[in-house]
Structure formats: C-alpha cells, structure tokens
C-alpha cells in the first residue's frame, strides 16, 4: 500500500485562446414612446383582469412591467469571458466543453451574440461577442458544432411574429 497518492494525471493545463469583456445582457435604452405603448397595453389588460377578478394575475402583470422598466433603464454590468482549452468561463460560471452541444451567432439591437446550447441546462448561454465572428467560430468550432441557423420552436416563432406585428418602439 502506498503512503502517498499520485497527483491526478487527468488534470490538464489550461490554454486561454480568447478573453474579453462585454455587458452581461443585451441593453437598449428605451424612449418615452416605448413606455407609453407598454403602459397603454398594460392598462387595457389590467382593466380586463379587474372585471374578471383575477387579482393574482394583476400582481403578476404589474411585476413583469416593473421588471421590463428596470431592465430598460439600468445598464448591465461588464463581465469577463474566457474561451480556453477546458471550456468557456463567463462571469463566475464555467462550462466545460463536454457540457456544451452547439453554438451559433445572432444579431439583435446592433449587437452580436454568441449563443451556446448546453446539453443539460434548460436555457442557452448568451455571450456578447467582443471579438470577430470568424475568430470565435474557428476556436469554439474545434470543440462543439456550429449551426448556421438554429432550430426554432413554436415559442421562438410566436415571439418573432408578435414582435413583428406589434412594434413597441420605433424601428431602428
């Protein structure tokens, strides 16, 4: 029986390929017209809910409107992202390559996002890319599959349709 255990031979040296800072979420400063449109829709919805005596739904709607207001007025914090040989670190979270399925790029509000779909997590990891698409694609593409066009489900299609049909602010 050995007195000392050998160090773990499975530990790998981490090679950092890319590192950058970006806002922690998408942000677009909203104008008075946006809040007026949201307010008009919410008032109509609240009137309907008052007549239906759905006070729990009224509280939920008011909470969502408050969240929309806060997210539209408070700028996001800057966080660090790092792509290395072991995985992706964003803020305080580390995702190993074995946990990640595929990735793609999306454009919204003039900002490029690197979207990564993990195998187990119910949501996607979104990083605001402060690097060139091709550079990120070549590095991340070594480890996980790149999708030109991500698969959209009915929720994505419904959100796109509603956003297209009911614009809340001026087109940019």
pLDDT digits (tens, 9 = 90+) for 94-129: 888 888 888 888 887 777 888 888 877 666 677 766
Structural domain contains residue 38: yes
1-5, 48-52, 149-153: least confidently modelled range: 1-5
Above 70 in pLDDT, residue 61? yes
Residue 125 lies in a domain: yes
Q: How confident is the model at residue 171 (pLDDT cuts 50, 70, 90)?
A: low
**Structural domain includes residue 166:** no
Mean pLDDT calculated for residue range 37-63 = 91
Same domain, 95 and 131: yes
- Asked whether residue 37 falls in the same domain as residue 63, the answer is yes
Q: How far is CA 136 from CA 24, 68, 122, 131, in A?
A: 18, 31, 24, 7
Domain coverage including residue 47: 32-75
Query: Same structural domain for residues 68 and 82?
Result: no
The per-residue pLDDT for 3 is 47
90, 103: one domain: yes
**Domain at 137, CATH number:** 2.30.29.30
The tally of domains found in the chain comes to 2
Same domain? For 63 and 98 the reply is no
Q: Both 45 and 103 in a single domain?
A: no
Q: Is residue 95 part of a domain?
A: yes
**Residue 7 located in a structural domain:** no
Do 90 and 141 lie in a common domain?
yes
């Amino acid at each position: 029986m050995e007195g000392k255990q050998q160090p773990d031979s499975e530990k790998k040296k981490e090679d950092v390929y890319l590192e950058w800072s970006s806002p922690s979420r998408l942000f677009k400063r909203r104008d008075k017209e946006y809040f007026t449109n949201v307010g008009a829709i919410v008032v109509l919805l609240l009137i309907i809910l008052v007549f239906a005596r759905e006070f729990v739904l009224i509280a939920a709607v008011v909470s969502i409107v408050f969240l929309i207001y806060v997210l539209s007025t408070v700028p996001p914090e800057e966080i660090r992202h790092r792509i290395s040989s072991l995985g992706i670190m964003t803020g305080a979270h580390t995702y190993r390559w074995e946990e990640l399925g595929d990735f793609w790029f999306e454009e919204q509000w003039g900002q490029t996002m690197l979207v990564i779909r993990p195998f187990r997590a119910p949501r996607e990891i979104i990083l605001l890319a402060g690097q060139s698409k091709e550079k990120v694609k070549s590095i991340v593409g070594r480890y996980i599959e790149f999708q030109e066009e991500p698969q959209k489900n009915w929720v994505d299609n419904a959100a796109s349709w509603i956003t297209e049909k009911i614009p809340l602010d001026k087109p940019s």
